[in-house]
Amino acid sequence: MLSSKPLKLLLIGDSNVGKTSLLLRYLDNTFSDKYITTIGVEFKSKDITLNNKTYKIHIWDTAGQERYKSITRNFYKHAEGIIFVYDITNKTSFSNLKNWISNAENEADFKIIIVGNKLDMESRREVSIEQLKKLAKKKNCKYFETSAKDNINVENLFLSIINEMINNIKDEVSISESVINLSNEKSINQNNKYCC
């Protein structure tokens, strides 16, 4: 059974941090050493089945260049999840995450995961795992270090955020149902206020 509404997941971060590579590794299990520039926003889709229910996940791969930031901002709305990506060998890409996260938080409410990519280039690391943990703790979210090239933690990353998105949707449905039940109960009590 297919869930009624597709879930929207975004990949956000500076240019050349490996957002497209992570997405292609996850969807097609492929990797290219050629740098692929994303122009504006690119879209992919995947069906995930959990507990006999199929969810359509719309994954939006955004451009990291400054000139596309206003376009990217439009995609924050109605997102259930965002993967914020930086390059562990590029301190600036990590510093810029604060701006990316701040801009997104002003636009919508969603689940997030922070990802340090290019773990295969450990010897050139500029951002420590401790720095990543500190930021994730501050933002109260999960974190991963990945390598799209060596396929390290990519599947775990996507499954983790998708699970959080689905659980969040279930929580919202439960809260909505509780509010509806409470509202119905109030109305029944008001109708019976002269009774017993």
Other CB atoms within a 10 A radius of the CB of residue 68 amount to 16
Q: Which positions ≥6 away from 195 have C-beta within 8 Å? A: none
pTM equals: 0.81
Angle at alpha carbon of residue 37, lines to 34 and 39, rounded to 5°: 155
Q: Which tokens hold the place of 184?
A: 């119905």
Other CB atoms within a 10 A radius of the CB of residue 67 amount to 8
Other CB atoms within a 10 A radius of the CB of residue 34 amount to 4
Residue type for position 10: L
7-191: CATH, from 3.30.565.10, 3.20.20.70, 3.40.50.300, 3.40.250.10: 3.40.50.300
Q: How far apart are CA 1 and CA 6, in angstroms?
A: 13
Give me the tens of pLDDT residue by residue for the chain, a chain 196 residues long.
Answer: 556 689 999 999 998 999 999 999 999 999 977 756 554 567 799 999 888 889 999 998 876 545 445 555 666 777 899 999 999 999 999 999 988 898 888 766 789 999 999 999 999 999 999 999 999 999 999 999 999 999 999 999 999 999 999 988 776 555 444 444 444 444 444 444 333 2
